[in-house]
Structure 1
């Protein structure tokens, strides 16, 4: 009988962490998550997956801790003894990182070292996944791949570059299975409400519901490679199932501006952008990243991973979800896309 695998996920309550937990539970893993103690409930993205209808014997456990607390990280690694660690936890908001650069460096950067060191000291054969970011490329000319030089343009990106190199150094210095997934922007109905894509779709739903009149945004010319989060967490899992540790760029290979996202979203619901979008300087970054676009050839060839959801699909999926949450009639094209491209999916309808 095959022994049940254990996985530890940091950032379990976030967008990616919740989708990854669902995927691993569906595959029969015992899932453990590191979460911070808070004065308010912060588990809304995972409340529905304590019982997995596809696998009623699946198990999920939560452990309180903090990426700034090396002692608790050591305790969790020792007591859980996971087969795989998916390190997704971070202060992950790029604009906010300019306001709290020291905290961002401590949690997003040094937090990675604390986990790697705990794994090394455990002397257990644990596979480690580092959630690296396309923001590390910053000012580098697109398209960007595994050989592109990093030109970070924010405290968040600098911290992620540090984490990337620490993972590589532990891999080469201690022969650890430590891999970097350099993920380009990936969104979903579970995206945090302060991130621009969700801010747009949620804002439009509020406008349609008569609760708001305007949507306030910053730089509309920034271009990003946007994909669908559930597909990207599958890539994370595939990276740790590979024969050897390595670094992989995960993206769609297309780039679109925030203006493009607005065009798609407003057109989908029949509203005019000019009537409802206003520019506010407070949403601009001190240093901007103009364009990010992945070259995902390596992940396609080595992992067999390729994005299915297009940019237009993504906008419709997110708009349907936020309109439904606002109590509005939903066009339904996003639901149809998921049904057609994924069939019986492993994640819950949002």
Structure 2
């Protein structure tokens, strides 16, 4: 079995490549951009995959999902049986700053992958990474969100992802050359080897570690009462794999999409409390004071967290909550194998070790 993973230097791509290699895949092909050479987080994730690279089971190929010719070259060289489309411009706030790049990457990149599959390996199957950001305003009146909840995205990121999502649904029903493709509507998911500090969860855990080590004075956040359905990235990549295996014998028109979520909400405030409690090994006095923009959290009497309105996200979606019942039933997937508290603890412990080694 040969799998192609785009976005292998991202959080999910690295975990998925490891998971597939551990399952005994003959080859896992990781697509990397030339610009990934300049990404320190991406380089770190690749170093973590060195055992699989050294074994020859993981092979890296330069390419870009916005370059159809580079994709055709990789498809023709390796003829993958499974394709995992994970590469994207994945930062919601940045999508407002770079809407055209976001659309080119997130809309047309997956279509280039789809067409390469159709041209070279039409019998292969494909996973497309969709997102809970597609629900947008619908989250305000439909909770929890499932596979039948309407989509009303409020960001260029969500809009671009929805375009790709609907394109995959049409590809399954194509009357000439239908494709076996499934979309995973993933809610927020994090990890110790996760994303950079521009994402709220990583910003919090890194800051908690740095403050504990006296390397940072204060953490500034936006809406601490915003709620998310947060899961653990290594658990979520297992769902991606299961989505292909469970539908492999079906006709393309019968392939379905799945919500991948925990079904439980947590606030940024809760995240902060767990992160600092872990950093101080449960021995610190954590207290919240004030309200609204004047809210602060003290650690042993010293203000360590405060609100900065600059970090309130434009058109934020505050109440995303997924219903993973279909994935649990059809895939046998366990969404809460790793709890929210355990995930945050893993992240803080990792950040304490990383900061302590500098």
Q: Tell me if TM exceeds 0.5.
A: yes
Q: Which runs of 5+ in 1 are unaligned?
A: 329-350
Mapped partners of 2:82, 2:43: distance in 1 = 22
- What is aligned with 2:203? 199
- Between 1:195-204 and 1:70-79, the stretch displaced more is 70-79
- What is aligned with 1:9? 5
Q: 1:32 aligns with which of 29, 32, 35?
A: 29
RMSD: 1.7
Q: Offset at 1:285? A: 2.0
Q: Offset at 1:124? A: 2.9
Q: Offset at 1:271? A: 5.7
Taking the TM superposition and a 5 Å limit, the aligned residue runs for 1:288-299 are 288-299=316-327
Q: 2:187 aligns with which of 170, 184, 187?
A: 184
Q: Offset at 1:278? A: 2.3
- What is aligned with 1:158? 159
- What is aligned with 2:127? 129
SS in 1 for 2:34: coil
Q: Deviations over 1:33-77 (max 9, x none)?
A: 111112525321121323249xx8551111111122111112212
Distance 1:46 1:257, change over 3 A: same
Q: Which runs of 5+ in 2 are unaligned?
A: 287-296
SS in 1 for 2:163: helix
CA contact (8 A) 1:81 1:124 kept: no
Mapped partners of 2:309, 2:100: distance in 1 = 24
CA contact (8 A) 1:28 1:58 kept: no
Taking the TM superposition and a 5 Å limit, the aligned residue runs for 1:323-334 are 323-327=352-356
CA contact (8 A) 2:7 2:13 kept: yes
Mapped partners of 1:98, 1:220: distance in 2 = 21
- What is aligned with 1:86? 84
- What is aligned with 1:251? 261
- Between 1:105-114 and 1:269-278, the stretch displaced more is 269-278
Mapped partners of 1:293, 1:135: distance in 2 = 11
Mapped partners of 2:161, 2:105: distance in 1 = 10
Q: 2:305 aligns with which of 274, 277, 281?
A: 277
Mapped partners of 2:307, 2:34: distance in 1 = 36
Mapped partners of 2:107, 2:266: distance in 1 = 29
SS in 2 for 1:108: helix
Q: 1:138 aligns with which of 136, 139, 155?
A: 136
TM-score w.r.t. length of structure 2: 0.86
- What is aligned with 1:237? 241
4+ residue stretches of structure 1 with deviation over 3 A?
none
CA contact (8 A) 2:122 2:179 kept: no
Mapped partners of 1:66, 1:279: distance in 2 = 39
SS in 2 for 1:169: helix
Q: Deviations over 1:105-131 (max 9, x none)?
A: 000111111111111122531110001
